[in-house]
Structure 1
Amino acid sequence: MEWLSRSPDLNLIGNYLLEKWNKLDLDDFRKYVESMPDRCRAVIAANGGHNKW
């Protein structure tokens, strides 16, 4: 069978991600952005290791 090996029509993950992306709410983005200072502090405290985030 011959077809384009990089055809976006055959990329199921891309379609799945687009569907999920369109369902995200602006409040979700706000929550993630506002949590960044705490995330950065946790990474620094763990010397780059695992943390609760």
Structure 2
Amino acid sequence: AALGRKLTEDFSGWRVGIVTTDVSLIRPMGIKFPPPGPPVAHGGLKVRLWQAQL
């Protein structure tokens, strides 16, 4: 939640991208992310890129 607040307060109008394997880290940010792209293999993990306009 703190990262989401910081991004929306200090970077309004910017685009943000978050790379993670865990969707539970995205939801608490309070930012409306559209569905992510397909998973991509990275170092043995399947990661997704979540992008949003702040």
TM bracket, shorter-chain basis: under 0.3
TM-score normalised over the length of structure 2: 0.20
Higher helix share: 1
Q: Which has the higher contact order (CA 8 A, sep 6+)?
A: 2
TM-score normalised over the length of structure 1: 0.20
Higher strand share: 2
Mark the structure with the bigger radius of gyration: 1
